Amino acid sequence: MFNADAARRWLGGVLLSGITACTSLPVPRVDESSLSSHAELTAVGFFPQEDHQCGPAALATVLNASGVTVTPEELAAQVYLPARQCSLQVELLAATRRHARVPYVLEPQLDILLREIAAGHAVLVLQNLGFSWLPVWHYAVVVGFDLPQRELILRSGREPRATVGFGEFERSWGLARHWALLVTPLEHLPVTADETRYLSAIAELETQRQFVAAALAYTTALARWPGNPAARLGLGNSRYGLGQFAQAEEVYRELLAQQPTLGAAWNNLAMTLLELQRWDDALEAAQHAADLGGASEPAARDTLAEIRKRREKM
């Protein structure tokens, strides 16, 4: 017996994570209708893994496949923890961003992984080759599959072409919570990309001030989701970050043509016009943002004040 307060506080957390943990282990059932029976990305390079040094080699493999020239030795300094003889997942994400690529963590399903391979994207996976209570972590890169044989083809450790059965792979991958990382060239979207999650991954790149890469990634995303306001706002923000204010203005105006009541866009347009020293236009846009209220109203009030201050100084 426990009281409702306590139940609410901890049981919710425990239960939710428990449910997620149990049910995120799907049976490796694969929808084969939409896939060809074989695929192998033979052009993906191979970097043999140094002793126990898991992480750098696999990351180098997918980064090079995405058009970044980098060696495992260069990456080791950024992602490798000698004490663990391994890299943390977050470090792989951070290192991918540092090399101006969008790290996208796939939905934890074998089907999804296969669809990305079929689309020509090598997938970095985390495996636990030991047991849940005695884990042996390992990163590998899936580069192909053979549906009739029910096998995956991996660049793994010192093996340039390891074949692993679906069942065996599902076990080791499942023990690593089906963690899979996709790194595509900036002109390519993952075919299975979730709109909001993918845009969040780009926004993280933008936060790291990788504006050139972010602008290109947003442009690519807009080709698939032309009506997504966050993608267009992000493109504008990246242009602004690059100091390309005329282009930024153009993007914000396109966005406002689609979404005339988006306060964030009016505010950022005002900021851009401020940089272009078009005081009256800037004030008008900022006022518009402030009048719309909502979440961006405080920013709009600051923007108004900033424009007035800077105009006086001129």
Partner 1 sequence: MNLLRKRISTVVALMLASFLFASVVMPAAQAQMVGTDALLHAQQLQQERAAVAVALERADVRAALLDYGVEPAQVQARVDSLSADEVHSLAQSIQQLPAAGDDPFGILLFIFVLLLITDILGLTNVFPFVNHRHR
Taking each helix axis from N to C terminus, what angle separates 110-118 and 166-174, rounded to the nearest 10 degrees?
120
Tokens standing for residue 165? 């059965």
Q: What's the min distance (Å) between Cβ of 113 and partner 1?
A: 18
DSSP for 86-142, written as a single string: B--HHHHHHHHHHTT--EEEPPS-HHHHHHHHHTT--EEEEEE-S-SSS--EEEEEE
The mark string for 111-130 relative to partner 1 (x by CB under 8 A, - otherwise) is --------------------
Cβ atoms < 10 Å from Cβ of 125: 23
Cβ atoms < 10 Å from Cβ of 313: 5
Q: What's the min distance (Å) between Cβ of 18 and partner 1?
A: 10
Element (DSSP H or E) covering residue 306: helix 297-313
- State yes or no: residue 274 binds partner 1 (CB under 8 A): yes
- State yes or no: residue 20 binds partner 1 (CB under 8 A): yes
Among 8, 29, 158, 161, binds partner 1 (CB under 8 A): 8
Taking each helix axis from N to C terminus, what angle separates 229-241 and 245-258, rounded to the nearest 10 degrees?
170
- State yes or no: residue 302 binds partner 1 (CB under 8 A): yes
- State yes or no: residue 216 binds partner 1 (CB under 8 A): no
Nearer to partner 1 (CB atom), residue 20 or residue 36 = 20
* Angle (nearest 5°) at CA 72 between 70 and 73: 100
- State yes or no: residue 227 binds partner 1 (CB under 8 A): no
Judged by CB under 8 A, the chain residues 188 through 207 that form the site for partner 1 are 196, 199-200, 202-204, 206-207
Q: In the complex, which residues of this chain contact partner 1 (CB under 8 A)?
A: 1-5, 7-8, 11-12, 15-16, 19-20, 23, 196, 199-200, 202-204, 206-207, 229-230, 233-234, 237, 240, 263-264, 267-268, 271, 274-275, 295-296, 299, 302-303, 306
